[in-house]
Amino acid sequence: MAKFQTEIKNEDAIRLGSCKVEIAPYDETTPVYVELGAARNVKLAEQIEIATIAPDNTPPIRKVKAQTVVVSCEWMEPTLTGLAALRGALDTVTSAAGEDTFKTGGKTDIGYVSVRLTNTNAAGKTYQVTIYKAQITKGLEQAFSPDADLAAAAIPLEFTGVEDTTKPAGEQLFEIVDMQAPKTPKTPAT
């Protein structure tokens, strides 16, 4: 018989399922998010770079030199207008008579977007991550499958979130709002 080393402390904190990926323009006071649609392998990874100051006669001092967050996924429902929106005015898209045309190259400024990831559980409660200020950091890559292969094509996306210095220190990179397993459960209305 197996001996378990611990027991589940909070079953609600076990996240099941994927998440919805949404994008909004960065500088809007009240951003309006647009859902990207089908995606797979959605991942959020915070990166912290530490600087060490090492005096000869005291213990070293360690400080955060840089803090970023990377969101990556494989976008399965790419559209040319959606792709241009993700890339912060780097591209030009025109639409006419049932045809979209995407053109890129020659621009040096890339805008910022806000990225939001939302996991909704079976009870309808959300776990939501908002990256306030991010840029697309992976160029367009589109692979095509053999005709006999039923695997759907997907475009890899990668955003790097940077500190939004318009917000207070300690709140500049991203926010997580957990309604699935909060420390203090919501009190039912009486």
Where in the chain are the domains? Answer: 11-178
Measuring CA to CA, which residue among 39, 26, 24, 46 is closest to residue 157? 39
pTM of the predicted structure, to 2 decimals:
0.87
Please report the pLDDT score of residue 189 as a whole number: 63
d(CA 173, CA 131): 6
pLDDT, tens only, 75-134: 999 999 889 888 888 899 999 998 999 999 999 888 899 999 999 999 999 999 999 999
Do the strands 61-75 and 174-178 form a parallel or antiparallel pair, or are they unpaired? Answer: unpaired
Please report the pLDDT score of residue 148 as a whole number: 87
Quick check: 159 and 113 in contact, CB under 8 A? Answer: yes
**What pairs with residue 34 in β-bridges?**
23
Quick check: 138 and 110 in contact, CB under 8 A? Answer: no
